[in-house]
A and B are shown apart, each in its own frame.
Chain A
Amino acid sequence: MASTADYKDRQFLAVIGDEDSVTGLLLAGIGHVTDPPDSQKNFLVVDNKTETSAIEAAFESFTEQRKDIGIVLINQHIADKIRHRIDTYTAAFPTVLEIPSKEHPYDPEKDSVLRRVRRLFGE
């Protein structure tokens, strides 16, 4: 059970996605860079050259290290690269949501929520 203190300071959304997904979401005004000298961003733009370890590090930073993130949005095709981390992540805060990207439409088969549903109904 999550206490109020757990989510009181979690006020930012974080994004791990391709350039168009991040640009689109930042247009809504969710982008935030903390004050120097840290200057931590709450987003990661992933392209073909981005290594899986960098994605994993960003996910770890948003979910474990930073205490000001309330929701982590991640492109589904990027979540696939770190699927083991996504599926084993069970903490209530921050909550993780997979979103579609331009080139990879939403696939219900890969959605961790719907996989949980299937498990509950014994499939």
Chain B
Amino acid sequence: MEERADIDHLLERYLHLLHEYTSLRAELNKLQAGLYQNLARANFAAERGMRYGQDQYDDRMQASRRVVALPSSSSPACATFEVVKVEEPGTADAAEASVSKNDEAVVSEVQSTRREEDGNKKEEEEVKDSLAEETKPRSSEPKAKKTKDPLCWFGLITPMPLRQAQAQSVQAVEDIVPKLVSINAEMAQVEIEVRRARKKRAKAEAAAKKSEDVTSKEEITV
């Protein structure tokens, strides 16, 4: 009896997960349909011969959205997935750029004070050179910085449908896909538990039947 209650409880949990899975599936279908529609609109409005596709992909692309898998809080045997946006190096570069600007200001300040003092040109030039050397590599870094936005593969000015497609894709990748795979993992775990519980119940039933048979045989002999 206890085993049956356990199985019922597990199946109830499984059906909840299944419901969540199907509703997320419906959401994903809706987003994907919108994405394909927007891509088709962008391709339709594009210049003759232009197609937003693999010809424009950047061969050195780096992922800006990555997977993070964590142990699930509900069942530690399976993992929950999240897709997070990794911090763009642009923010660090921007900070460095501001630092280099400050250094430039320091250079000009040093230069003006030196001129006012005694006009020791040799020393002034030395200071200028040493500080210029420090600032040079830093100021060149922001230029070398590459933007990670995949929209840039398709040109500087991208059509609105393509941007809408990107927004839908981001929503699908960040919100729906990780939930779907997490639920899938949890469902697989519950399936294992249900099968185990069923086996346990079958064993218990077989044992009960055996003991019943033994008692009935004893009754007959008496």
Contact = CB atoms under 8 A, between A and B. Distances in A.
Contact of B21 (A11, A73, A113): A113
Interface in A83-99: 92-93, 95, 97, 99
Contacts, number: 144
Given A13-B177, A95-B81, A29 B187 contact: no
Given A7-B69, A100-B32, 5 more contacts: A13-B173, A23-B39, A24-B32, A39-B59, A45-B54
| Candidate in B25, B58, B172 with the most chain A CB atoms within 10 angstroms | B25
Instruction: List the 3 closest A-B pairs by CB distance, nearest first.
Output: A70-B67, A29-B64, A32-B63
Q: Is the interface of B mostly helix, strand, loop or mixed?
A: helix
Interface in B102-142: none
Interface in B36-72: 36, 39-40, 52-54, 57-69, 71
B184 interface: yes
Interface residues of B, number: 60
Contact of A92 (B79, B149, B168, B172): B79
A2 to B, nearest CB: 6
A35 to B, nearest CB: 9
A118 B22 CA distance: 14
Contacts of A97: 177, 180-181, 184
| Interface of A, helix, strand, loop or mixed by DSSP | mixed
Contacts of B81: 70-71, 95
